[in-house]
Chains A and B, each alone.
Chain A
Amino acid sequence: MMNDERYDIADQVTAYAREKRLSPQTVARWQAWTVPDQAALWELVQVLQLGENHLRDFLDWCEEIMLRDGGSIAALLARTELRRPLTAQLGRNDKLKAVKEGLRKIRYPRLSQLEDELRAAVKALDLGGRVQVSFPPSLEGEDITIEIKARNAKELSEQLTRLHQRLEDGAVLRLFTLLDQV
Chain B
Amino acid sequence: MKRYQPEEILIERGEENAPVVLRARARLPETPVRIVEPGWERELSPRNEADSFAAGKRRLLFTRQRSTFLEHCPAGTAGLVCCNYLVVSLISNCPMDCSYCFLQEYLANNPLLKVFTNVEDLTSEVAKAVDRQPWRQFRIGTGELSDSLALDPLLGFSGDLVPFFATRKNVLLELKTKSDCIEDLLKYDPQERVVVSWSLTPPAIVESEEHGTASFAERLRAAQRVQAAGYKVGFHFDPLIEYPQWEEGYRDAIAQAFSAVDPRRVAWVSLGSLRMTPALRATARRRFPQTRLLSGEQILCDDGKWRTFQALRVKMYRTISAWLKEAAPQTPQYMCMETASVWEKVFGHAPACDKDVARMLTQPHVATL
Contacts and interface: CB of A to CB of B under 8 A. Distances in A.
A139 B292 contact: no
Contacts of A109: 297
B295 A140 contact: no
A114 B311 contact: yes
Contacts of B307: 140
A64 interface: yes
A68 B295 CA distance: 6
B297 A108 contact: yes
Interface stretch (B68-76, B139-147, B225-233, B298-306): B298-306
A51 B281 CA distance: 21
Contacts of B244: 68
Interface residues of A, number: 21
B290 interface: yes
Interface in A148-182: 179-182
A71 interface: no
B167 interface: no
A111 B291 contact: no
B311 A139 contact: yes
Contacts of A147: none
A138 B299 CA distance: 7
Interface string B131-165: 00000000000000000000000000000000000
B235 to A, nearest CB: 25
B311 A181 contact: yes
Contact of A182 (B301, B312, B341): B312
A110 B297 contact: yes
Contacts of A179: 311
A107 B299 CA distance: 11
B259 interface: no
Contacts of A68: 244, 292, 295-296
Nearest to B301: A140
A128 interface: no
Main secondary structure of the interface of A (DSSP, over half): helix
Main secondary structure of the interface of B (DSSP, over half): mixed
Interface string B81-101: 000000000000000000000
Contacts of A108: 297, 299, 309
A140 B309 contact: yes
A67 B290 contact: yes
B95 to A, nearest CB: 27
A107 B290 CA distance: 17
B295 A182 contact: no
B341 A140 contact: no
Nearest to B299: A138
A79 to B, nearest CB: 17
Given A64-B295, A65-B295, A68-B244, A141 B310 contact: yes
A180 B299 contact: no
A142 interface: yes
B315 interface: yes
B349 interface: no
Contacts of B312: 110-111, 182
Contacts of A60: 285, 294
A180 B345 CA distance: 9
B257 to A, nearest CB: 26
A111 B300 CA distance: 13
Given A111-B297, A180-B314, A138 B291 contact: no
Interface in A105-126: 107-111, 114
A111 B299 contact: yes
Contacts of B296: 68
A139 B294 contact: no
B295 A138 contact: no
B309 A142 contact: no
A138 B300 contact: yes
A67 B295 contact: yes
Given A67-B290, A68-B244, A138-B300, A180 B311 contact: yes
B300 A182 contact: no
A182 B311 contact: yes
Contacts of B297: 107-111
Nearest to A137: B299
A182 B315 contact: yes
16 contacts: A60-B285, A67-B291, A68-B244, A107-B297, A109-B297, A111-B311, A138-B300, A139-B309, A139-B310, A139-B311, A140-B301, A140-B307, A140-B309, A141-B302, A180-B311, A182-B311
Interface of B: 244, 285, 290-292, 294-297, 299-302, 307, 309-312, 314-315, 341, 345
Given A63-B285, A114-B311, 4 more contacts: A60-B294, A110-B311, A138-B309, A182-B312
Interface of A: 60, 63-65, 67-68, 107-111, 114, 138-142, 179-182
